Structure 1
């Protein structure tokens, strides 16, 4: 359950970072890009751990 909470928090945070910015912001705002990549990494790691736990 904690992992789902972390995943949700990362999604909420990423959506907050994006706000009303457009695609061009990813090309011009390095801090935005790095922040989004970090949140995507958090989500990916949680998904990866979940897949490992479920595999036989």
Structure 2
């Protein structure tokens, strides 16, 4: 799931990401890159924190933005 989330974040336009600096785009994309390419460098405590805490906050931040996306992005 985190890998898919990171890939989706990477595919958002630069304009959209810049318009929403409250979303930690670089962190999301960076985490995806570690999971996909540097699995031997995954810090399990950090990953657990993302799953148990950060995801809930991120969902709260992203839900209002979904309606502003064009249909092909949704």
TM over 0.5: no
Task: Report which structure shows greater RCO (CA 8 Å, sep ≥6).
Answer: 1
Larger of the two Rg values belongs to structure: 1
